[in-house]
């Protein structure tokens, strides 16, 4: 047997709803348990569409959820650095949509943070 991997989604635009969530839900042992989008209304709609238990209008609530193992970041790139670093510092693996971030300085900060958490995986897709 395997452990169930619990995933939270931050940002639920087209890429996330057309690809990331449906494909994650097809993987045995993976459970998407929370989603946060720009508003509680849009978060609720995505949660309803994909039968996700929890939905929020604030990304911090997803990151603070101690039951999660990983965070999928599907926001605009200007948020990628902040979300990636916050998620890593909260002990969560990160799968971040490309474009990685806004510039090379932000990329260096993200890399530096990931090196401080060698047991966590931070990946750009």
* pLDDT score for 50: 99
3-state per-residue secondary structure call for 94-115: EEECCCCCCCHHHHHHHHHHHH
pTM for the structure as a whole: 0.95
| Cβ atoms < 10 Å from Cβ of 1 | 4
What is the length of the chain? 125
Confidence of residue 26 (pLDDT cuts 50, 70, 90): very high
| Bridge partner list, 35 | 9, 55
As a whole number of angstroms, the distance between CA 100 and CA 125 comes to: 9
* pLDDT score for 24: 98
What domains sit in the chain, N to C, each tagged with a CATH number? 5-124 (3.40.50.720)
| Interval 63-94: pLDDT, tens | 999 999 999 999 999 999 999 999 999 999 99
Tell me the torsion sign for CA atoms 99, 76, 13, 59: positive
| Interval 36-71: pLDDT, tens | 999 999 999 999 999 999 999 999 999 999 999 999
Q: State the DSSP H helix or E strand holding residue 87, giving kind and residue range, or none if neither.
A: helix 80-89
* pLDDT score for 3: 84
Tell whether the model's pLDDT for residue 102 goes beyond 90.
Answer: yes
CA 122 to chain centre: 11
């Amino acid at each position: 047997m395997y452990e169930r991997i619990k995933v939270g989604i931050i940002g639920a635009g087209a890429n996330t709803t057309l690809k990331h969530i449906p494909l994650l839900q097809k993987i045995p042992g993976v459970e998407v348990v929370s989603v946060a989008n720009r508003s509680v209304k849009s978060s609720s709609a995505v949660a309803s569409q994909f039968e996700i238990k929890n939905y929020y209008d604030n990304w911090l609530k997803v990151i603070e959820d101690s039951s999660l193992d990983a965070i999928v970041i599907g926001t605009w790139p200007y948020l990628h650095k902040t979300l990636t670093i916050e998620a890593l510092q909260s002990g969560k693996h990160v799968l971040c949509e490309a474009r990685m971030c806004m510039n090379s300085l932000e990329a260096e900060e993200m890399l530096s943070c990931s090196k401080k958490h060698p047991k966590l995986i931070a990946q750009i897709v």
